[in-house]
Amino acid sequence: MFLGCAEEVSEAPAEETHVEETPVETTEEVHAEETVEEAHVEETHWGYEGETGPEHWAEIGYPDCAGSEQSPVDISDAPVHDADITFNYNPTALNIINNGHTIKVEYDEGSTITVEGKAYNLLQFHFHAPSEHTIDGEYYDMELHLVHQSDDGEYAVIGVMITAGKENEAYKPVWDNMPAEEGELQTISGVTVNAIDLLPEDRSYYRYDGSFTTPPCTEGVKWFVLSNPVELSEEQIDAFEAIYLGNNRPVQPMNEREFI
């Protein structure tokens, strides 16, 4: 586990329109977090440091990033829900992109979760290093986000903490094909991945309402952060960090929110 103190920023808190958490419509209707967000990216560049970093996102054209229900947050004294999310994930072709902010896999249609009486379609998953959420003030080495959208337009994100340990074979299809440089979406011939294999066996979770963690920081997102991490080897973590390290938004104030 990567240890550190959870940061809080005051008010502030992918990237092409390829159908990582937009009100702007695109011709390839929403593939969320970095999908919704990607519709905006050509208008205003954003990043993780300097004048386009998280503390300036609201100033440079993303006012929702100064909202009162932003993500990520520090998870402390939160109830743990039983593993009652129904996962209906099927394998997908490896549709992978380095979008300039993260490594993202766009998921083929037909995979869902059902939780709180509603079904959500899996759109994509992507990674942050170190983690965006913290647990009791501590960061993990990485965090996986699986972004979903319901038929009526609501968003739900599954967060999975990643810590150093044994090599994880389930991640190899992604890791063996991570583009080192920003570029176009590519489908790797003959390679598939199943998101169910990326999750821990015990899928109990923390629950709160928040936002996408990248611009435009849209609120109204249901967050389900799994309480158990998965392991990747030091070599696997190093391989991701060689491409992206520090692509995590600082934790945001809970304000009037409570963990559900």
CATH code of residue 141? 3.10.200.10
Between CA 221 and CA 217 the distance in angstroms is: 10
Looking at the domain assignment, is residue 217 inside a domain? yes
In this prediction, residues 66-87 reach a mean pLDDT of: 98
pLDDT at 1: 55
Top pLDDT among 34 and 178 is at: 178
- Confidence band for 44, pLDDT divided at 50, 70 and 90: confident
Looking at the domain assignment, is residue 230 inside a domain? yes
- Confidence band for 225, pLDDT divided at 50, 70 and 90: very high
Looking at the domain assignment, is residue 196 inside a domain? yes
Q: Cα-flanking dihedrals φ and ψ of residue 169, to 5°?
A: -65, -30
Top pLDDT among 37 and 82 is at: 82
Looking at the domain assignment, is residue 7 inside a domain? no
Looking at the domain assignment, is residue 181 inside a domain? yes
Output the pTM of the full model.
0.85
DSSP letter string over the chain?
----PPP--SS----SS------S--SS----THHHHHHHHTTS---SSGGGSGGGTTTTT-GGGG-SS-S--EE-S-PPBPS-PEEE---EEEEEEE-SS-EEEEPPSS-EEEETTEEEEEEEEEEESS-SSEETTB--SEEEEEEEE-TTS-EEEEEEEEEE-S--GGGHHHHTT--SS----EEEEEEEE-GGGGS-S---EEEEEEE-SSTT--EEEEEEEESS-EEE-HHHHHHHHTT-SS--PPP---TT----
- Confidence band for 23, pLDDT divided at 50, 70 and 90: very low
pLDDT at 8: 33
Looking at the domain assignment, is residue 113 inside a domain? yes
Query: Given a cut of 60, is residue 131 above it in pLDDT?
Result: yes
CA–CA distance from 50 to each of 53, 63, 66, 83, 253 (Å)?
5, 18, 17, 40, 21
- Confidence band for 24, pLDDT divided at 50, 70 and 90: very low
Top pLDDT among 107 and 15 is at: 107
Query: Given a cut of 60, is residue 27 above it in pLDDT?
Result: no
* Beta-carbon-side half-sphere exposure of residue 131 (alpha carbons within 13 Å): 31
Looking at the domain assignment, is residue 17 inside a domain? no
Tally Cβ neighbours within 10 Å of residue 57.
Answer: 26
Q: Which domain holds residue 48?
A: 34-241
Q: Are 103 and 24 a contacting pair, CB within 8 Å? A: no
Top pLDDT among 11 and 145 is at: 145
- Confidence band for 43, pLDDT divided at 50, 70 and 90: low
pLDDT at 248: 98
Looking at the domain assignment, is residue 4 inside a domain? no
Q: Please tell me the total count of domains within the chain.
A: 1
